[in-house]
Amino acid sequence: MLNEQEIYQLLEEKYTQFNQKSFIESDPISVPHQFSRKEDIEIAAFLSATIAWGQRKTIINNAQKLVDLMELEPYRFVMEHSASDLSRFKSFKHRTFNGTDVSFFIRSLQNLYTHHGGLEQALSMYPNDMQRNISTFKQLFFEPDHPARSTKHLSDPLKNSAAKRINMFLRWMVRTDRRGVDFGLWNGIQSSQLMCPLDVHSGNVARKLGLLIRTQNDWKAVEELTANLRTFDAADPVKYDFSLFGLGVFEKF
């Protein structure tokens, strides 16, 4: 077992190694990186993060398909689409996320930007309590009439979900550095308030390093892991998501 200083040095080394622009191409974050307008980036990133489970190449291809179907103008499409425009998504499918879900997500995004100040405002209501923040966002997101099947595609940490994809989306939007991977577009949440995205890979690495004792990948594990990462960098604990992910996925640590 590595000691605390050795763990810190490893995390810092891998953060530097993987938080590079060369990382973008092989990651779903590549899809929003093709846009420059804040709202286009947000929407493309949100949809990409929503379907970010399974093979990474498939995730990227399907996320690209979504923005292509939105005519590479996600915000304009969300705000101006008609009911007939949504028919183009009928055959879309990524794992269990299908055309019915896409159509609702687009309608809900329109509602968020029209009535709730957009994604940033809707996801920054309780920045000091990320569990409540994400749960409240889910309530707002499903405010319009919706198919029951679509609710499973947004996690609720108040039900002890790790909410990996929404935490990853928040990392993309909030974290800012000079490396060019994360966008740092949002001001309503500080990097210090973010929670670490937790999945099988990052969880396994964290346990091997002694940063996570809890065996389930749930919200309690997210809190435990993030608290331990804050001991290494209180201002930006989630930067070590790059380290855990890189060690798990690329280096099979």
Who contacts 66 (Cβ-Cβ below 8 Å, separation ≥6)?
44, 47, 48, 51, 89, 92, 102
What pLDDT score does 253 carry? 79
Could you read off the pLDDT of 157-178 as tens digits, one per residue?
999 999 999 999 999 999 999 9
Q: What is the pTM of this model?
A: 0.97
User: What percent of the chain is predicted at pLDDT more than 70?
Assistant: 100
Residue 129 has pLDDT above 90, yes or no: yes
Element (H, E) at 93: strand 93-94
Could you read off the pLDDT of 56-113 as tens digits, one per residue?
999 999 999 999 999 999 999 999 999 999 999 999 999 999 999 999 999 999 999 9
Residue 252 has pLDDT above 90, yes or no: no
What pLDDT score does 60 carry? 98
What is the rounded CA–CA span in Å between residue 129 and residue 194?
10
Using pLDDT thresholds of 50, 70 and 90, give the confidence band for residue 189: very high
Using pLDDT thresholds of 50, 70 and 90, give the confidence band for residue 18: very high
Q: What does residue 179 show for φ and ψ, rounded to 5 degrees? A: -90, -20
Tokens 């608290």 correspond to what residue?
A: 227
What pLDDT score does 226 carry? 98
Q: What does residue 74 show for φ and ψ, rounded to 5 degrees? A: -55, -45
Using pLDDT thresholds of 50, 70 and 90, give the confidence band for residue 250: confident
What pLDDT score does 93 carry? 98
Task: Break the chain into its structural domains and give their ranges.
Answer: 4-250
Cβ burial, residue 67 (10 Å; 0-12/13-18/19+): buried
What is the rounded CA–CA span in Å between residue 15 and residue 6?
14
What is the rounded CA–CA span in Å between residue 62 and residue 76?
20
Q: What is the mean pLDDT of the chain?
A: 97
Residue 225 has pLDDT above 90, yes or no: yes
Residue 251 has pLDDT above 90, yes or no: no
